[in-house]
Amino acid sequence: MNNFLNTINSPKELRLLKQEDLPQLAKELRDFIINIVATKEGHLGASLGVVELTIALHYVFNTPKDQLIWDVGHQAYGHKILTGRKEIFETNRQLNGISGFPKRDESKYDTFGVGHASTSISAALGMAIASQLKGDDKHHIAVIGDASIASGMAFEGLNHAGVTNANLLVILNDNAIGIDPSVGALKMYLTNVKKGTQKQDNIFEALNFDYSGPVDGHDIDAIISELRRLKTVKGPKFLHVITTKGKGLKQAEEDQVKYHAPGKFNATTGELIAKSEASQQPPKYQDVFGHTIVELAKQNKNIVGITPAMPTGSSLKYMMAEMPNRAFDVGIAEQHAVTLAAGMATQGLIPFCNIYSTFLQRAYDQIIHDVALQKLPVIFCLDRAGLVGEDGATHHGVFDLSYLRCIPNLIIFAPRNEIELRNIMHTAQLGLKQPIAIRYPRGRGVTMDWKQPFSKIEIGKGVALKKGNKLAVLSIGTIAKNVTEAIKDLNVSHYDVRFVKPLDVNLLHTIFKTHDTIVTVEDHTVKGGFGSVILEFASENNYKNTIKILGIPDAFIEHGSVDELQEFVGLDVEGLSNYLRTRFCIRD
């Protein structure tokens, strides 16, 4: 039997195949993705679900002249393999390898960089309008999932597109799941459309799109036929495609949440390769949050939990299972999540709003206008703060201290370990009169015996971890672990400042008066972050101490493991130790 995938280095070779050969190519492409991801890890289910659609798009349209935008990009592995990256696909998400998401400077076929949801329609419409203005005759296709299209930004794009005559095709990849199952009234609407029971007017036709579908997303002939027809239709068009996430791997179809990004697995059987027992390791910070909020909510009936489409990733799933009427997955709607929390807070509820640091960026106005301005005691739990690893530049949570600390009325805290996370959550629900942001990283902590009795944390108080001589290291958050190891044989002081806002000014005065040199360390950008806070304090108080800032450099950091990236930016144990020894001639 021919191996068609071996002959394809770009869509040009793909278009030379006979249409009857494409189902075999789809099987080969699925097998290729499964075999690579089984050992290298990555986002599996989404790409398996769109194999036929991916082939059909590149077969029918003249990419890259015709511009194809994948929303989020979890589903773009097949696209990458067919567009010249097959031989290097095994480097996907690895240090110095290709990105796990479409990226403009990686390939001319990646027409728009993505990673966050719901941007594709706006971007494709912008390209389509630009083509009109320039007189370019080309097609613009946005492929968006049913979870992403429920976002407000997607509706903003649809709303605008419907009053243009732009050459735009929106393809809805409808598999009823994002990372977790899709939620909301739009999901119910799409379900009714698929069942043929929808009685209301078609929402997309009402927005002035030429609607077609639903089409079986695994019937490649049907997809190609419809795409060819739509090429002849002018103006905004909408194709509804039904797919199965994880298609072609039985376990991935049956457990779509786990196989979204399953880690290593057996490519033949689909069985996950077990990692060392979690009971033998400290917990993940997300699980500390998830179990702690349930514990607190059992004691305090006013506590509610909110997450925008991340119940599994944030571990709010535990509260949703035990208290489904008090825990809310609002879908990919970060702006709504924040203002929903604000509304709840006005009525005496205590909302824990759990959002990844990188996604909270999408709700910045709501933090300022709807929460902080009104001094509403929303508790923001910022998961995935700092370097997150293989998801790379679009997902690192390295800007939150900078964009939050300029906001009045907002407390900002970073726990050093799991016990501190529990205690600040306990403290926050006791009755703060203003909002608080708590940032913590992806991955496991350092404390096996983490479930200690709750203890109240005094707001705005740092702690001394080690007393030394003339140099003091000031850290914020869990990077303290690396600092502690780096200085264990060095005669230097170490302080965990804990609060970026309000600052422990009494502690800082003591530090500046007793140490000649101050070194700040943070898992955050050096521009505007914790180090900048210390510089501002020194300036305001006319201190002349030497101050050095260590953190994420002023650049977008690409993908790799957290350990690799910490080494790259000098925040690993060896890097910190060498810096202190060589820069300041400190010896044991």
Which residues are designated catalytic?
Answer: 245, 334, 362
- Alpha carbon distance 493, 450 (integer Å): 26
Instruction: Select from 396, 411, 576 the least CA-distant residue to 480.
Output: 576
Residue from 152, 557, 98 nearest 330 by CA: 152
Alpha-carbon distance of 485 to 580, in angstroms, equals: 12
CA 578, CA 587: separation in Å to the nearest integer? 10
Distance CA 406, CA 46 (A): 38
**3 state DSSP class of 84:** helix
Dist. CA 256–CA 247, nearest whole Å = 10
Distance CA 242, CA 171 (A): 10
In sequence order, which residues have a C-beta less than 8 Å from that of residue 575 and are 6 or more positions away? 566, 567, 569
- 542: tokens are 């006319």
CA atoms in the 13 A half-sphere facing the CB of 582: 6
Q: Which of 396, 440, 385 is nearest to 418 (CA)?
A: 440
3-state secondary structure of 206: helix
Residues 140 and 100 sit within 8 Å (Cβ to Cβ): no
Q: What is the token pair recorded at 11?
A: 């869509």
Residue whose C-alpha is closest to residue 490's, from 570, 584, 587: 587
d(CA 183, CA 301): 25
Residues whose CB is less than 8 angstroms from the CB of residue 406 and which lie 6 or more positions away in sequence, other chains included: none
Q: Which residue has the tokens 């119910």?
A: 188
DSSP 83: I
For residues 549 and 520, what is the distance between their CA atoms, to the nearest angstrom?
A: 5
What are the structure tokens assigned to 230, written together? Answer: 């739509």
CA distance 305 to 400: 21
Residue 587 in contact with residue 497, Cβ under 8 Å? no
d(CA 110, CA 113): 7
